[in-house]
Amino acid sequence: MKSSHYLVILTLLLFTQTIQAQFYTFGNTPEWVNKLEIPKEPSVSKYDVTSGFYLTLADYQAKVDEDAFYIREVSNIVSYSGVTNASQLSITYDSSYQELILHHLIIWRKGKKIDRTKDLSIEILNNENDLDKGIYTGTITAYDNLEDIRKNDLIDFAYTLVGKNPIFGDSKYLFYPLESMNPVDMYSVRFMYPEDKQYAFNCIDCDSTIKISNVNEGGYKQTELVCENLKPLKVEDYIPTWDLPYKYFTLSSFNSWNEVNEWAQDIFSLPKEQDLNQVFEEIFDGSETTEEKINKIIDYVQDDIRYMGIESGIGSIKPFTPEKVVKQRFGDCKDKSLLLVTLLKKIGVEKAYPVLVNTSLKNSLDQQQPSAELFNHCIAKYEFQDSIYWLDPTISVQGGDFKEVYTPDYGKVLVVGENRDSLQTMTTKTDGATIYIEEEYFMNSFTEPALLEVKSVRSGYEADQRRALLEYYQLEDLSKSVTDEMKLYFPHVEKIDEIKIDDDIEKNLFTVKYKYEVDGFWQDGNKSSNYSHFGYWLYRFEPQSLYYYLTKSACSERENDYEVIYPVNLSYRAILHFPKEILISDDINLIENEIISYNEITEQIDKNSIVIDYQLKIKKDHIKAESFMDICEELNDLVEHLPQVIYFLKK
């Protein structure tokens, strides 16, 4: 199967190479384009610029009814690094439905115009960088490395892309950001469409810095947005993917999500009744209950149908029929989702639907104008015995019963076939994914190595992830990763037994046991530069399993929310057996705020031993901007006090 998979890809690549020359030509600037003057007095310092160049003119125009998109960018090279970065031209597009028309390449040098259009020597590069992930996109890049480019040159390059994916039919959608990471002297967006069309248009967070003009001329409505002396966009770190931190505008021909749903129903409709009896003959033995059949269907679609997407042209949106997917034994998210719901319906689970989602926008998807072009993933929804279940068929080797299977929360979604004027909200379980880690240290001497036994037990999605990891990597890779991580805390680490794995896929529990010899962690206080350590053995215990989730951050006021790892439900126990008797007071540390629940309990369990129990639950996927400062300072204080220094008199 693997060799045939690469044969298919090779055939596609060779086919693309034979036809790609058809998809770029040279031509004059379209008559419908407004020709703009280059700003005469750039006001940008090289110290305000990233990569050594910026756009002195960014000109984007669209003739919506012809799916024609004109792009003209004039790059101003302000430093020598910009010579390298700006002299490489590249245009990425889908050759299955788009045509590239090159208009001009002009170099403006000391006020003089040098026409280099005829010198363009375009190479076509295939963009199949995700073949190892099972994705063929069909996109190509037209590339040229320009000769004789100098500091202070202006590179004036213009082209038009014509065409859109035919799967969207006559529907229209535009999205243009109105800010940039670099300054822009003049940023202009203009679009036009026939006067008899009623398209919805939104300019998000637009203010007086953006001049908007509307005219009706020659049977077309025309809108232009212009911003001069655009300042560089300042982006904070860890902004949630659903929080777009810039101004933008959108245009859509859809008036409601119900209209989008009607389009999607047509896309997912099947030409005839699907014959899938061979699937049931393969996976059923005739004795199964409906619940058992659901489990076997899910296992079949997730694990026996490998993930492979031919994401070019219509195939990027229109799913293969279930019969074809079964025959070829591969499919992408939409193929696997349609196969799943079709199989479920055939066993009597009638309310089963494909679901279109946006994995980045999530709950903010409904803040966008309705459009068929906003989705980037497909999952499934079904109802059984008055309960609703969501399933992502692209996640493989998931354990447990279908009632407990974890599905990421994609927020607002479009359930294909359930016509509504609004999107639906997913309701998924997050408490079924847990991690339990136990570290037990046996220290018989202050000068000899100690034995460290580690056990981790993962359930739910955490078990799924670890199981999937070992489907791809060798066990030795995992062992080396764990050993390397331990070396951050112990000068000497030696594995003294092979890793032991117990995978209970029915209960979805994944247990791993390690055994190591560690040394060099006791410090001789007599050798310390700190006089107060004299006469003591010191050990600084680091709860290393917490540091993946809890780290110190720079605390400051924020404009945007702060994304965190979610969901997290971690129980971490450290048992320390010391060479000498120890006496401590039991201690409890509790923290509860809008984002985390943290519980730390230290107890003495015998004269030489203590146990430290940590409970960490992250309750939300982000911290609100207005709460960030207080929570950040609280978490930083927690992280600072996580290590525990233990002293023993040397006598």
| Residue 58, strand partner residues | 73, 187
- Residue 589, CB-side half-sphere exposure with 13 Å CA sphere: 17
Question: For residue 409, what are the CA distances in angstroms to 133, 392, 431, 464?
Answer: 22, 10, 12, 16
What CA–CA distance (Å, rounded) separates 120 from 103?
11
Per-residue model confidence as pLDDT tens digits over 407-422: 999 999 999 999 888 9
| List of domains in the chain | 2-40+47-253 (2.60.40.3140), 259-425 (3.10.620.30), 435-649 (2.60.120.1130)
Cα of 302 vs its chain's centroid, Å? 20
Percent of the chain with pLDDT over 70: 94
Report which secondary-structure segment, H or E, holds 640. helix 625-640
Q: Which has more pLDDT, 533 or 132? A: 533
pLDDT, residue 8, reads 38
Structure tokens at 557: 């006021």
Using the predicted structure, report yes or no on whether residue 53 has a pLDDT greater than 70: yes
Which amino acid type is present at position 205? D
Per the confidence metrics, is the pTM higher than 0.75? Answer: yes
- What digits encode the pLDDT tens for the residues 188-222? 999 999 999 999 989 999 999 999 999 999 999 99
- Cβ atoms of 305 and 339 within 8 Å: the answer is yes
Asked whether the predicted pLDDT for residue 521 surpasses 60, the reply is yes
Segment 250-275 shows an average pLDDT of 96
Is the model's pLDDT at 462 over the cut of 80?
yes
Whole-angstrom distance, CA of residue 526 vs CA of residue 533: 7
Confidence of residue 472 (pLDDT cuts 50, 70, 90): confident
Average pLDDT of the residues of the chain: 91
Structural tokens at position 475: 């066990």
| Rounded average pLDDT over 358-373 | 96
DSSP assignment of 429-493 = --TT--EEEEEEEE---SSS-EEEEEEEEEEHHHHHHHHHHHHHS-HHHHHHHHHHHHTTT-SEE
Q: Is the pLDDT of residue 1 over 80?
A: no
* pLDDT at position 15 over 70: no
Amino acid of residue 121:
S
Q: Strand 536-541 to strand 522-524: parallel, antiparallel, or no bridges (unpaired)?
A: antiparallel
Q: What is the mean pLDDT of residues 423-450?
A: 91
Q: Does residue 43 have a pLDDT over 90?
A: no
Distance of alpha carbon 180 from alpha carbon 232, whole angstroms? 6
Give the CA angle between residues 271, 275, 280 to the nearest 5°: 145
Region 595-611: mean pLDDT is 96
User: What does DSSP assign to residue 365?
Assistant: G
Collapse the DSSP code of 556 into the 3-class scheme (helix H, G, I; strand E, B; otherwise coil) and give the result: coil
**Does residue 20 register a pLDDT over 60?**
no
Residue pLDDT, tens place only, 113-163: 999 999 999 999 887 666 666 666 678 999 999 999 999 999 999 999 999
Least confident of 136-140, 254-258, 270-274: 136-140
The pLDDT value recorded for residue 137 is 67
